[in-house]
Amino acid sequence: MKNNPLKLKIDKEYNKKSMHIFNENSFKTVYSFDFKSGNGKMVSYAVFPGIYLVHNEIHGFEINEFKRIDSDQEITINHCKKGRFECKFKGKYHYLEEGDLVVATKTAEKSYSTFPLGYYEGIEIYINKKSAKPFLKNVFGYSFDLNELYKKISENNDFLLIKSTEEIDHIFNEMYYVDEKIQKMYFKLKVLELFLFLKITPLNNTIENRPKFSKKQVETIKSIKKELIKNIHNPITLEYLSKKYNISITSLKTSFKAIYGKPVYAWRKEYRLQIAKELLNKEDYKISEIANKVGYKNPSKFSAAFKEYYKLTPSQYRSRKK
């Protein structure tokens, strides 16, 4: 394990107090993270020398308890399965959506610590060029040239955000649910399939086709989201938010949806119901009290909205949790 470049990198980047290793062998290492604002789990698989498949799960909006250490020997490939992932590139903010792919080298300006929806699940392929290159010179009689891949990324300013495609879905979606008995061989085959895909596919950066936002715009929308959370029990209009935060209603609606993946009112409804579910897990409140706390004056309307979202009424959900 001393020659595991990914583990050495994680040890340097993360605060030792927040990171715990509770399962480790030559193939699989499981890390858990406890942050001030959330928690996470990282399962790393040593697929080939210098090449690791990492399954990431994060619960929290922001993770600030790590420092990024870059190396010119790294290539990272990230696939988003659930949630959203904030990327900062050349002073602008972009958002990795479900099904999307980010391919990057160390020189990209990356921020992997912000998750606008409060959760994230994805797979990262971490490649250490120095360790991987000798092995990839001859795999099944075929040579994979990492320098060629690195050059293709560099020619696109070291950062590629590629929209979801059927080919990407096919390669990655099957990696999330693999029987432990076949993981070693299966992950090898899938990583090689990914390399072949990247070799024959023109890597065109698709971030230019999406809205991008300045730091000021992002901070304004995040302030609006905080207000929606703080006043969860009160009705708030777009007109009020537009005037208070000095942003047009059109820009507010467009920016909010791009950052959080849903229109303002749809996001707020989901958030209210998620908070309601958390309160239902406690016995301290009556259902009518919970309805009022999350902004529903009419318990019947709350019950109908909860059932539509969770397929159970609040009382059915609470009884199942007992």
Q: Is the pLDDT of residue 307 over 80?
A: yes
Mean pLDDT of the region 184-204: 88
Mean pLDDT of the region 225-243: 93
The confidence score (pLDDT) of residue 116 equals 85
Q: Is the pLDDT of residue 183 over 70?
A: yes
1-10, 21-30, 157-166, 257-266: which is most confident: 257-266
Q: Is the pLDDT of residue 164 over 90?
A: no
Mean pLDDT of the region 78-104: 84
The confidence score (pLDDT) of residue 65 equals 47
Local confidence band at 265 (pLDDT 50, 70, 90 cut-offs): very high
The confidence score (pLDDT) of residue 305 equals 94
Rounded to whole angstroms, the Cα distance separating 27 from 15 reads 24
Mean pLDDT of the region 59-73: 65
Mean pLDDT of the region 174-190: 94
The confidence score (pLDDT) of residue 149 equals 85
CA 116 to the chain's CA centroid: 9
The confidence score (pLDDT) of residue 269 equals 93
Q: What is the mean pLDDT of the chain?
A: 84
Local confidence band at 9 (pLDDT 50, 70, 90 cut-offs): low
The residue ranking higher by pLDDT, 57 or 214, is 57
Comparing 18-27, 199-208, 296-305, the range with the smallest average pLDDT is: 199-208
Q: Is the pLDDT of residue 227 over 60?
A: yes
Q: Domain 5-209 adopts which CATH fold?
A: Jelly Rolls (2.60.120)
Boundaries of every domain in the chain: 5-209, 215-321
Instruction: Indicate yes or no: pTM above 0.85.
Output: no
Q: Is the pLDDT of residue 42 over 50?
A: yes
Local confidence band at 33 (pLDDT 50, 70, 90 cut-offs): confident
8-12, 26-30, 262-266: which is most confident: 262-266
Mean pLDDT of the region 109-128: 80
The confidence score (pLDDT) of residue 31 equals 87
The CATH number of domain 215-321 is 3.40.720.10:
no
Q: Is the pLDDT of residue 287 over 50?
A: yes
The confidence score (pLDDT) of residue 273 equals 93
